[in-house]
Structure 1
Amino acid sequence: MMITFETPDQPDVHALIAELDDYLYALYPAESVYALDLHSLLAPNVRFAVARDGDGAAIGCAAVLLTPEYGEIKRMYVRPAARGTGAAGRLLQLLEQAAASAGCADMVLEAGPSQPEALAFYARIGFRQCGPYGAYPDDPYSVFMRKPLGKIA
């Protein structure tokens, strides 16, 4: 498996993002899905990582939105067939390294309560629930989490 920063503007990455969108919109009302669109993922303060299998097929992706205060995880997704391979952990590790290099003190994320596996994964690697941050509203379909970057493994 190979995990590198790439542009999200690739057909196989578009397919990953479309799968993630289908999943999220099946779980939550549209107004409670706070996803970055492709244009936003191309912004200079966003780093986008792709996990590829041994054949070069895209099996996962994730982005970090870099701000002066924190790095925010966005668009984290690993195809179901590739779960349990370590792809999610390696994607997150690369994002945390990028955020730390940019001077961010914390990593933050917003996920939903209907994703218990994702929430458990984040908790296992040091994220703890917190209140809304940035411009997010206090939404019953949102779970906010934070991890100090000083605890990077």
Structure 2
Amino acid sequence: MFTCKLSNTHADFCALTQALDAELNARYGKEQSLYDKHNVIDPIETALVGYEDGLPVVCGCFKKIDDITVEIKRMFVLPVYRRRGFSSQILGELEAWAVACGFSHAQLETGKAQPEAIALYTKIGYEVIPNYAPYVGMENSVCMHKALRS
């Protein structure tokens, strides 16, 4: 797999996140509408798309939270490409990019109906933390944090 740094407005990133949104709607049903507004990100230049045989198969991005923290967003691998290490690779590249930009911490939110995501993040060193805004009080949210290596 090779990755490209892109804007989150790039067509390949948008196509993958549309597939992500469809999967989240299938997993969470109408409850997903509570989360959709938090998945809209202003245009940013910190998105990655991974390609296999020229096809976009994995994506993720990060956005600045404060001077030391980024939030990992929109992580997704097309179902037929899962269990090949692509999510670990793209997450590692996002973390390295964040460190290169001067950040030392990453946080993220995932859902209780995504045990494979929780397992991945735990394996890579993320720890569950109390839900941060805007996820405070949202029962299906699982918020996680990791100190990044510099």
TM-score scaled to structure 2, two decimals? 0.87
Which of the numbers 34, 46, 54 marks the counterpart of 1:31? 34
Instruction: Work out whether 1:48 is the aligned partner of 2:39.
Output: no
Letter in 1 for 2:22: D
Aligned residue identity for 2:12: D
* Structure 1 residues 58-95: Cα deviation after superposition (integer angstroms, max 9, x where no partner): 00100011231311110000001111222111111111
Point out where structure 2 has 5 or more consecutive residues left out of the alignment: none
TM-score normalized by structure 1?
Answer: 0.86
Task: Give the match for residue 142 of structure 2.
Answer: 143
- Aligned mates of 2:71, 2:128 — CA distance in 1: 14
* Pair 1:18-2:7 in alignment: no
- Amino acid of the residue matched to residue 47 of structure 1? T
Report how many aligned residue pairs link the two structures: 145
The CA distance in 2 between the partners of 1:134 and 1:77, in whole Å, is 22
Gapped regions of structure 1 (runs ≥ 5): none
Contact kept in structure 2, 1:36 and 1:74, CA below 8 Å: no
Helix, strand or coil for the counterpart of 1:90? Answer: helix
Displacement after TM superposition at 1:134 (Å): 4.3
Aligned amino acid, residue 18 of structure 2: A
